[in-house]
Amino acid sequence: KDAAMEGALSFAVETAQNAFKAAKEAPTWAKAALAAAALMALREAYLSVTEKSVEGEVCLITGAGSGIGRMLAKSMAAGGAKVALLDINEAAAKEAAAEIAASGGHAFAARCDVTSHEDVAVAVAAAREALGSDITILVNNAGVVSGKPLLETSDRAIKRTFDVNVIAHYWTLKECLPSMVRNNHGHVVTVASAAGWVGIPRQCDYSASKWAANGLAEALRMELRHMGATGVSTTCVCPFYIDTGMFEGVRGSWLPTLPILKPDYVVASMMTAIRRRTPVLNMPAMVNLTPLMRAGLPVAAFDWCCDFLGITKSMDDFAGRSIDAPGSS
């Protein structure tokens, strides 16, 4: 691995040196661009050879019966991790676990209402017993959406959105984090949303819950750092709309760099972020500009950008899995 790192870094340095020589007479802006590109190449080379493996890890994923959670569970198992799949739909979770087992993986599945601390405690204890180890990777993935204007959103839906999308994270952390801190080894993955960076019409509950999840992930990262738990990493995942059915009918931006995301791309990006211990994963890359635009632009200008990109009307034709639909819980 050291040889691979040395080779990758040498290649990146040599490439950068050659580029600078070729651009010796280039304008200042071109030199700055080349310098930035060289730094990015060095960073990518370093990260690619310092990725950690998930082999031997014990990963617990909420909302693992379908969508991104199910796909991530399979990717984790393929990488050699033992996987605990929790979902309120027990049949779906067990079906996914059976598929993992059939492929030679090690998986455990259980029904769990993540809004209940008692349910979470029982499920985590059962996972530990079944997999023979403490949880070392926690993925808080379960999520719900109502997709309605605030005044049309039921009290039940508002409460359920916050209970599932953020309060549940506290319950899983309470059960899984102590052993990570004690062993100074672990990883907490928070699946938030690009809606945790910007308010979107028909998402007054959802967007607010994702802002809260984003804030929790940030505070937890700082708290672990302050505690000296340097072996416990955190990753906050903030994707744009994903083509899983949860946001059926939403409109993507007309901009090619802000598309509705394919699940395979999201899961692959998450796996890379986990291996590289990336603190924040915004998808696609353009989402990285959102906090900068919010900070640097007047409110009216930022709102205009949202209108121009099609974000403001993105939920107008929403027909996905609303929390108010029968059986959505």
Q: Residues near 56 by Cβ (< 8 Å), separated by ≥ 6?
A: 80, 81
Transcribe 248-316 into DSSP letters. TTPPPPSSTTSPPBPHHHHHHHHHHHHHHT-SEEEESGGGGHHHHHHHHS-HHHHHHHHHHHT-TTTTT
Structure tokens at 118: 């008692």
Closest by CA position to 240, among listed 223, 221, 262 = 262
Catalytic residue among 46, 170, 206, 265: 206
CA angle 315, 157, 234 (to 5 degrees): 75
Closest by CA position to 204, among listed 168, 142, 159, 158 = 158
Per the annotation, the verdict on 46 as an active-site residue is no
CA angle 192, 98, 193 (to 5 degrees): 5
CB atoms within 10 A of CB 211: 18
Instruction: Note whether 216 and 204 are within 8 A (CB).
Output: no
**Cis omega (within 30 of 0) on the bond before 284?**
yes
H runs (alpha helix) in 103-235: 117-131, 155-162, 168-183, 204-227
Q: Catalytic residue positions?
A: 206
